[in-house]
Amino acid sequence: MSHALKTLPGTDEAPWQEFDPEAYFQHYYGEPHPDDDTLTYLAARALRAAQTNPGRDLDIIDVGTGPSLIPLLAALPVATRLTAWEYAAPNLRWLHNEITSPPLRPQWQHFWRQVKAAHSSDSDGMSPLLPHDPLPLLTQRVRIVRGSIFDLPRHAYDAATMFFCAESITSCPAEFESALGAFLATVRPGGIIAAAFLAGSSGYAVSGRRYPAVKLDAKQIQNALKSRLATIAITPIGISPKEVRSGYTGAIFVSGKTRA
């Protein structure tokens, strides 16, 4: 597939093949942040709700996975197959090492507890069906695929997640819209999306290299999505007038169902 990859728009703006995934991980997830706890919980709940038939697990894709296991962990309890669709070669190597090299890092165990909490009921506490260590299931169910967001197959998945991708590959609003459209189109009609967007970002730095972003707020995201989804729920997370961590001022979580 790699020979046919469409170039990401931000390639001219940033050195994607020199991206430092470990530095990104240490900066953003080295010390788990309450905002990320909330995001993980909401994503797991949204995907749990997508499993309308408890006997049928879902074919799920995460788009632009990068150096994070959060979307994969959130989808894991309801996924029969889970695709990590990633463009940058350093991130692909990092992801492969992360899910094939036990033990699972304490940070991912922390976020896995948020997933388990999302699958608990008021009466019985943590779900007994979810293992203490999700790494064996990750290894079994996740396939890592190199691909541009613009190469996504149409109507191929029951559900799709995307955390901080479409707005973080370019500084051009039109290219963001195009990437968003490609993400939505990869879900089958009537399928579920769960996505998170950076709020107030004009770009971010990793190991001294600058990467682009489109500056967004909740209203802009709602306007971009409302005509494309049959249902939509938007949750701002930790929005602040100042940067939460370098490169953004909060997050915006969106869940919804694509039009049938």
Range of the domain at 243: 2-258
* Of 101-105, 145-149, 200-204, the least confident: 200-204
**Cα 89 to Cα 18: distance, rounded to the nearest angstrom:** 9
3-state SS assignment for residue 32: coil
In whole numbers, what is the pLDDT of the chain averaged over residues?
89
Model pLDDT, residue 49: 84
Model pLDDT, residue 124: 44
DSSP secondary structure of 148-204: -GGGPPTT-EEEEEEES-GGGS-S-HHHHHHHHHHHHHTEEEEEEEEEEEESS-S-E
Domain count for the chain: 1
3-state SS assignment for residue 94: helix
3-state SS assignment for residue 136: helix
The long-range contacts involving 177-180, CB below 8 angstroms and separated by at least 24 positions, are 177/224, 178/150, 179/9, 179/149, 179/150, 180/224, 180/225
Contact (CB, 8 A) for 86 and 145: yes
Higher-confidence position of 244 and 188: 188
Global confidence as pTM? 0.92
For 132, phi then psi, to 5°, come to -65, -40
Model confidence at 166, pLDDT cuts 50, 70, 90, reads very high
**Cα 197 to Cα 214: distance, rounded to the nearest angstrom:** 10
- Identify the CATH number of the domain in which residue 53 sits: 3.40.50.150
144 DSSP 8-state letter: E
Tally of CA atoms within 13 A in the half-sphere of 24 that contains its CB: 22
- The model's pLDDT over 121-164, given as tens digits with 9 standing for 90+, comes to 644 444 557 999 999 999 999 999 999 999 999 999 999 999 99
Model pLDDT, residue 81: 94
Alpha-carbon radius of gyration of the chain: 17
